[in-house]
């Protein structure tokens, strides 16, 4: 009986100690750390692996401790979008002219759009598993409810276009075309193409034997070329063609 009372007393003393330890551990969390850990988990294991429980285990805390930083799975997914755009913001800020320097040259707007496009491409290639969220969350989240980092990127592009002298209608048209081209190109770059990674023969590697030759002759013919990534050069070449089209309207 004495031993049982002792064990009970020890457990009662241990519980507050564990809670105090947990509070200290939780206190070291921040939204930035939570989102960085979530992005790391998705980078390594894909979006399907992301859950509050898995993320909590990665951070060494109870899942409930994360709800102060993200209200649920959807908020966590929006946080991943935020993390991608914050990384883009960091890349764009590096080497940017200071605000108190000479005013920007309106004629340089195309070069700045190229810089934004290429930086977006680099961020997405670094986190390919999270890229689908740039489309799916934008379909689910109204403009005003998107993360501030996303809205700042929109603002950056719109300011460039208006400073270049484009009117509201042309600004909106170029903004839509620019955004659609960049995200569409990246999605095509990351699409699944390889059927059997173990195969050395290109035709079997791509699974061309699964495609009916009489129905899909051109697709079979060009599939190997389509499977090669276009890289940032293809992104920028297409962007130039798009902007040239607006210039001749």
Question: Can you tell me the mean pLDDT for 20-29?
Answer: 51
Residue 25's CATH number: 1.10.10
38 and 104 fall within a common domain: no
User: Residue 22 above 50 pLDDT?
Assistant: no
Q: Which of 13, 36, 70 is the last residue of a domain?
A: 70
Residue 237's CATH number: 1.10.357.10
134-173 confidence digits (pLDDT tens): 999 999 999 999 999 999 999 999 999 999 999 999 999 9
114 and 50 fall within a common domain: no
221 and 187 fall within a common domain: yes
Domain that holds residue 7: 1-70
Q: Which of 70, 91, 108 is the last residue of a domain?
A: 70
User: Residue 17 above 80 pLDDT?
Assistant: no
This prediction's pTM = 0.82
User: Residue 25 above 60 pLDDT?
Assistant: no
99-124 confidence digits (pLDDT tens): 545 455 556 899 999 999 999 999 99
58-68 confidence digits (pLDDT tens): 999 999 999 99
pLDDT at 98: 53
145 and 230 fall within a common domain: yes
212-247 confidence digits (pLDDT tens): 999 999 999 999 999 999 999 999 999 999 999 987
CA distance 206 to 203: 5
166 and 223 fall within a common domain: yes
182-191 confidence digits (pLDDT tens): 999 999 999 9
83 and 11 fall within a common domain: no
pLDDT averaged over the chain? 87
65-89 confidence digits (pLDDT tens): 999 999 999 999 999 999 999 999 9
26 and 123 fall within a common domain: no
Domain count, the chain: 2
38 and 142 fall within a common domain: no
pLDDT at 53: 94
pLDDT at 94: 87
90 and 206 fall within a common domain: yes
């Amino acid at each position: 009986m004495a031993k049982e009372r002792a064990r009970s007393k020890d457990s009662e003393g241990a519980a507050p100690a564990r809670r105090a330890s947990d509070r200290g551990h939780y206190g070291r969390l921040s939204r930035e750390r939570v989102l960085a850990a979530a992005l790391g988990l998705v980078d390594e294991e894909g979006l399907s692996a992301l859950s509050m429980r898995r993320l909590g285990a990665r951070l060494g805390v109870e899942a409930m401790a994360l709800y102060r930083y993200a209200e649920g799975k959807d908020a966590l997914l929006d946080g991943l979008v935020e993390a991608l755009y914050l990384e883009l913001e960091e890349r764009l800020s590096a080497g940017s002219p200071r605000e108190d320097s000479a005013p920007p040259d309106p004629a340089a707007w195309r070069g700045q759009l190229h810089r934004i496009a290429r930086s977006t491409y680099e961020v997405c290639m670094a986190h390919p598993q999270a890229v689908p969220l740039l489309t799916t969350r934008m379909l689910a989240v109204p403009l005003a409810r998107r993360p501030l980092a996303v809205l700042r990127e929109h603002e950056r592009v719109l300011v460039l276009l208006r400073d270049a002298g484009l009117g509201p209608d042309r600004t909106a048209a170029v903004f839509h075309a620019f955004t659609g081209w960049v995200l569409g190109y990246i999605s095509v770059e990351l699409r699944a193409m390889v059927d059997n990674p173990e195969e050395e023969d290109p035709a079997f590697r791509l699974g061309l034997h699964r495609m009916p030759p009489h129905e899909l002759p051109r697709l079979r013919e060009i599939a190997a070329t389509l499977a090669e990534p276009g890289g940032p050069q293809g992104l920028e070449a297409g962007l130039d063609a798009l902007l040239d089209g607006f210039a001749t309207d």
